[in-house]
Every structure is written in structure tokens, then in C-alpha cells.
A and B are shown apart, each in its own frame.
Chain A
Amino acid sequence: MICQRCKKQQATVHLTEIRQNEKHERHLCEDCAKEEGVAFKPPMNLPDILSGLVEAHEAAGKEANLACPDCGITYAEFRNQGRLGCPHDYEVFAEPLHEVLEKVHGATEHAGKVPHRAGTDITAPRQLMQLRRQLQAAVENEKYEEAARLRDLIKDKESSGET
């Protein structure tokens, strides 16, 4: 079937519209469909957005080397995997992420549900994560007394609801 608009190319986009219960069929080639803005384009996805931003930031180059002191992930690693390493990354990568959030959500501020426990010390969770890593290092280095002390400390902090 030949495109009804340019009458040259093969029609690959077939549209059926129902207006007042009457059927109207149109057959267009890809180019004409695009020009008329009727070709279906899937919404932008995160990899596309991130790779689009890579170019914008490559010039500056500074974000790529940003690294989280807690989990160790760099911004370049995040960009490749599309997944962050820990909650603290949202602070470490705040600047480049701002743009990502703007593109994905059209917003950068939370407006929904707030957990009942919110409002407690936000540094406590980070401390807890650092303590856990210290505990692991202590076990690996066979410092068992130190490990026992850290384990108790973690348990205390967790059960006191400080997190």
C-alpha cells in the first residue's frame, strides 16, 4: 500500500479513527506519520535520559569522578548502571541528580506520604551503615572483641529506633 500523503513510499502506519461513530482509515509512510506527529514514540526512559546528560556533563567532567564516601559508588558508575549505591548518594550527587529528576518526574520535591518516624536524626542511618562496615572489617581481620563491641552497638542503635 502506498502512503496517502506523499504517494511515494510504502505505507507502514495505519490509522483508524472513529469520529461520531464513523470509521476513517488513513495509511501513511513512517516519514509522513512523523511529520504529522502521529507516529508512536515510546516515552523517554532513564538510560536515554542519562546518556543524554552524559554529553552535557562530559564537558564539565567533574561529576563523573564524584564518589560517595559511604558506599563508594562514583557518579560514572551510577550513570552506567542506572542504580544508586546507598541513600546517601542522593546528597552526594545532588547537583547532577537534580537535572535527572527534573527530566524524569518534572519535579524535584517530594509531595507525598511521610513516614511516622520521619524527622528523627537523619545522620543516624549513615552512622549505622558505617558501623556495619566497620563490623565486617573487624570480622575479616579476626578482631573478634572489636566485632562483638560493634555488634552490640549496632543492635542498641537499631532497637532504640534511632534510625
Chain B
Amino acid sequence: MRLDDLITSPSPWLQPGGPQSDIVLSTRVRLARNVAGRPFTTRLRAEERQDLESYLKSAVLKAFGPKTIAWFELAGMSEVDRRCLVERHLISRELAAAEGPRGVAIDAAQQTALMAIEEDHVRLQVIFPGLQLEEAWRAADAADDRLESEVAYAFSPHLGYLTACPTNVGTGMRASVMLHLPSLVLTRQIEKVFRAVARMRLAVRGLYGEGTQATGDVYQISNQASLGRSEEDILKTLAAVIPQITSYEQQARAVLADESPAALDDRIYRSWGVLSNARTISSDETLMLLSAVRLGIHMGRLKGVDLGTVNELFLLTRPGHIQKQHGGELSEPDRDIARATYIRKHLGVA
């Protein structure tokens, strides 16, 4: 599998048809693991870091088989490629920006990814479309078992999997659900969701993780505590909270349609109008407009527009992917022109 093929193929987590995919974009489970008998990442000396990278590379390829998974070194990768992997949620911004030996193993389905030498030695993640907490955990658990057949983990019977940051110790698990909540934003109720969620030791983040602004009305909800409860228990809390949020979003959609249908349609159709006519457009504006269009499709108010196409644009209009399609780096103004052209072509209105 070549990196170029991977970056230009559709991202499975954006495929429509997953459970509750009108609101839940994707479900992700990630496990933090460290190799026993080695310092954590920040304390690795240069040679130790190099040695750990080759060790993990051969262990991962042996555990999963080179036909199932491909290994990519980050050190020699172009900035555009690294950016594309971040936009696809296959690597973290931290791994992309780090220096020194580090890598990522990705399976052909782009469902499983193992980051090597991130904050922890290994960050294993599984990403599924729609709401599939149990399925994602089962897949992550199985992948973890596979890796464990080759690697001895740093583990303590009392504290569980030992991680570089004590916030991840224990299960090392972070389960997160990505939600599209445009109506809760429009009716200014999103703060209420944040408050309820924070009380349950759950965290809310934007589309691209820690410290990012929520763009396109997309939010990630994940567990904060990783110690003291089993993986299944942690998932149960999330599984109980998510339906409440989605039904809240549904209610807000109903209220909008009921009370201000003209304003709602105006927003949806203006967004559609700008997307299909703009000659230069920023990535943030694109996300905002796509969000309204996606809402319009799901509410049955915007007909004849394909949901899969719109979902794909959430990813394909990000700065990394626009530059990848262009075939190299572009300045921001040039990117905005390329993006507008790309959107019109993709929507078939060029």
C-alpha cells in the first residue's frame, strides 16, 4: 500500500450508513501503550529512540502481517502528506509536528492505525463510522492482543497500563464519539450539553482534538478518566450519554423546523448557494457551510444532493487534501481558489 493511494482513497469513517450517522459521524477507541524496560518518549536518548522505532516497526509488521498493515516513517514525509494523515485522523497533530524517528502503521481499510513514539510508545486506534462503541472496542482489544503477542507492555497490577501522562494510566483508553450538532449550536443550547457532559467526567473537544475550535458544528465527546473502571464500564457511560445528546439535537431540529422554517431554509440554501458558486473560499467557511448543507439533507429540506459527496467534502476541502490534489504546496490565497474550484467540480456545478 502506497501513501498516495491511502490519502486519495475515501475515508471509511465518513461513509454514510453507519448507525445513527445523521448525527454521529464516527466512533473511535484508542489505547495508549508503552514497551516495558524503556524510558517514556520524552526521556529517550537519540539512539534509544532510533532503536525503539525499528523495534516497533518489526514487532507491528510481525504481529499484523505486512499484507494487512503498512508502515510509514514520519521523519522523511512531506508536510502535505503529514497534514493529510492528521486530517484523516490517522495520526495526531503532535506526531505530525514532532521530530526524530517516529512512524505510523495503517491497515488497508484505514480502520486501524498504530502511532509509534507519540507521547506514549504506541497509540493504537480503531475508527468506525457512526455510533459503534462496542464494535470499535472489540476491534481495538483484538488489535491490542495481537501487538501484545510481540511486545511486552509496561504494566502494573495496581495501576494498569503505565503511560507517560498520568491522565491516561489504567486502561490507557480514550473512547470518543464525533457528533454533528448544528441545531444545538443554532439554538444556543450547546453550552448546556457541555455542562452536563463535564459533570460525568467526559470531555468535549472540537473536530481536530485537544485545543481545537469546534468547526463545522462537529464535536468529539470522550471519557476523561481511564483508571478505576473497566473498559466496558467506561463505554457504558458514553453509550448512555450519546443518545441523550442526539435526541436533544433531534428536538432542536424539530423546534427550528416548527418555529422558523423560513430562517432555517434560508440558511441551508444560502450555504448551498455559496458552496456552489464561490470562486475563493477558506476551509473554515467551507466547514460552516457544509454543516448547514448536511443539516438540510438530513432534515429532508435540501433534495437532490448526495450525502456521501457532502460528507467527503468535510475531509477533501481541508488544507492538506486541497494541496495533495493540487500536487504540492500552495499559498493560502491560492488554496482558497483551488478549494472553491474543487467544490464546484465535486458538486457537479462547475
Contact = CB atoms under 8 A, between A and B. Distances in A.
Interface string A26-42: 00000000000010111
Given A117-B148, A136-B47, A17 B173 contact: no
- Max chain B C-beta neighbours (<10 A), residue from A81, A118, A122, A127: A118
B278 to A, nearest CB: 30
B228 A129 contact: no
A104 B167 contact: yes
24 contacts: A14-B188, A15-B191, A16-B188, A18-B252, A40-B191, A46-B166, A71-B40, A83-B41, A83-B42, A85-B43, A90-B162, A97-B166, A104-B224, A105-B169, A106-B201, A108-B227, A110-B159, A112-B170, A113-B141, A114-B157, A116-B148, A126-B37, A132-B38, A132-B48
Given A40-B191, A124-B37, A73 B43 contact: yes
B332 interface: no
Given A15-B192, A107-B229, 15 more contacts: A18-B251, A40-B195, A41-B198, A71-B40, A83-B40, A85-B42, A106-B201, A110-B228, A111-B229, A111-B233, A122-B156, A124-B36, A129-B37, A136-B45, A158-B37
Contacts of B42: 81, 83, 85
Nearest to A33: B191
Contacts of A46: 165-167
Given A43-B198, A110-B158, A110-B160, A101 B166 contact: yes
Contacts of A73: 43
Interface string A51-86: 000000000000000000011110000000111111
B118 to A, nearest CB: 12
A116 B251 CA distance: 46
B31 to A, nearest CB: 9
Contact of B171 (A15, A83, A112): A112
A149 interface: no
Interface string B126-143: 000000000000000100
Nearest to B170: A110
Contacts of B251: 18, 21
Main secondary structure of the interface of A (DSSP, over half): loop
A92 to B, nearest CB: 12
Contacts of B40: 71, 83-87
B203 interface: yes
Contact of A42 (B198, B233, B254): B198
Contacts of A17: 189, 192
A25 B145 CA distance: 52
B37 A83 contact: no
A85 B161 CA distance: 15
A71 B188 contact: no
A136 B38 CA distance: 13
B230 interface: yes
Contact of A86 (B43, B169, B189): B43
- Max chain A C-beta neighbours (<10 A), residue from B187, B191, B251, B258: B191
A46 B38 CA distance: 24
Interface string A114-137: 111111001011111100100010
B214 interface: no
B43 A105 contact: no
Contacts of A105: 169-170, 225-228
Contacts of B227: 101, 104-105, 107-111
Nearest to B229: A111
A111 B228 contact: yes
A21 B173 CA distance: 38
A18 B189 contact: yes
Nearest to B254: A21
Nearest to A23: B255
A82 B187 CA distance: 38
A138 to B, nearest CB: 12
B255 A21 contact: yes
